[in-house]
């Protein structure tokens, strides 16, 4: 999946080793950040603790800047980054279903694996639900295939779709991230967990 094969930096086997190491590291840091706990993850939807939002947005911006500047310096061909086809309506519906499941279960697919790996019972059940849902989707796919393949748009990238330079988009996303962080801080102060007042004896 890593778009470095064009430059012969390493082969497919080495890429799989890197993917394994990065995956283990990603899971480790998710757990250390507390993202293997459903209460912490669900708290963001109530604006009480937006750590998940801030960390994930930071990761997205960091990855975006990395990809952009590696491309600018000729170290990576950005056109080789894998982009799945867009089916706008079914993907919106799927995103809403994922969001509802996130709120109810307290996990997204990645954090549920972290919770399961650390022995949390709710994480184990959530992973079971992921497998069950995947199986059910496969069974009913012939019935919903028309909807799943509706509104095709091909491989869509925002710079090409809106006809704007990559650099301008990167700058706009960074500004959006800074605004999001400021909004998150405000929301946590307004809706976040309040420390109980301690009664002082006279």
pLDDT, tens digit, for every residue of 16-41? 888 899 889 988 988 888 888 888 88
Asked if 55 and 118 count as a contact pair (C-beta separation under 8 A), the reply is no
Determine, yes or no, domain membership for 42. Answer: yes
Please name the helix (run of DSSP H) or strand (run of DSSP E) that holds residue 78, with its range, or none: none
Determine, yes or no, domain membership for 202. Answer: no
Q: What is the mean pLDDT of residues 124-139?
A: 93
Residues 19, 21, 22, 25, CA torsion sign: positive
Determine, yes or no, domain membership for 54. Answer: yes
Query: What's the pLDDT score for residue 2?
Result: 58
Determine, yes or no, domain membership for 177. Answer: yes
* Range of the structural domain that residue 76 is part of: 5-191
Determine, yes or no, domain membership for 197. Answer: no
Determine, yes or no, domain membership for 97. Answer: yes
Q: What is the mean pLDDT of residues 82-98?
A: 93
CA dist 198 and 107 (Å) reads 34
Give pLDDT tens digits for 52-68: 888 888 988 998 999 88
Determine, yes or no, domain membership for 100. Answer: yes
Q: Is the pLDDT of residue 1 over 90?
A: no
Query: What's the pLDDT score for residue 61?
Result: 92
CA dist 129 and 16 (Å) reads 27
Query: What's the pLDDT score for residue 147?
Result: 95
Determine, yes or no, domain membership for 200. Answer: no
Q: Using pLDDT thresholds of 50, 70 and 90, give the confidence band for residue 73.
A: confident
Domain count, the chain: 1
Query: What's the pLDDT score for residue 191?
Result: 87
Query: What's the pLDDT score for residue 80?
Result: 78
Other Cβ atoms within 10 Å of 64 Cβ, number:
16
Asked if 112 and 127 count as a contact pair (C-beta separation under 8 A), the reply is yes
Asked if 148 and 90 count as a contact pair (C-beta separation under 8 A), the reply is yes
pTM of the model: 0.76
């Amino acid at each position: 999946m890593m778009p470095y094969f064009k430059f012969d930096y390493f082969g497919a086997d080495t890429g799989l080793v890197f993917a394994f190491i990065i995956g283990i590291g990603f899971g480790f840091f998710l757990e250390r950040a507390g993202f293997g706990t459903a209460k912490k993850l669900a708290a963001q939807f109530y604006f009480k603790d937006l750590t998940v939002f801030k960390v994930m947005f930071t990761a997205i911006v960091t990855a975006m800047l990395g990809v952009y500047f590696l491309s600018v310096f000729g170290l990576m061909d950005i056109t080789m980054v894998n982009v799945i086809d867009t089916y706008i309506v079914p993907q919106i519906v799927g995103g809403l279903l994922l969001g509802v499941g996130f709120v109810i279960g307290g996990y997204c697919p990645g954090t549920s694996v972290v919770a399961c790996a650390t022995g949390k019972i709710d994480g184990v059940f959530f992973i079971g639900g992921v497998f069950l849902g995947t199986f059910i989707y496969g069974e009913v796919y012939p019935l919903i295939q028309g909807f799943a393949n509706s509104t095709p748009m091909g491989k869509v990238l925002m710079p090409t779709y809106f006809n704007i330079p990559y650099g301008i988009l990167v700058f706009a996303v960074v500004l959006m991230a800074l605004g999001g962080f400021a909004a998150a801080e405000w929301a946590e102060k307004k809706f976040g967990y309040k420390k109980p007042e301690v009664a002082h004896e006279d």
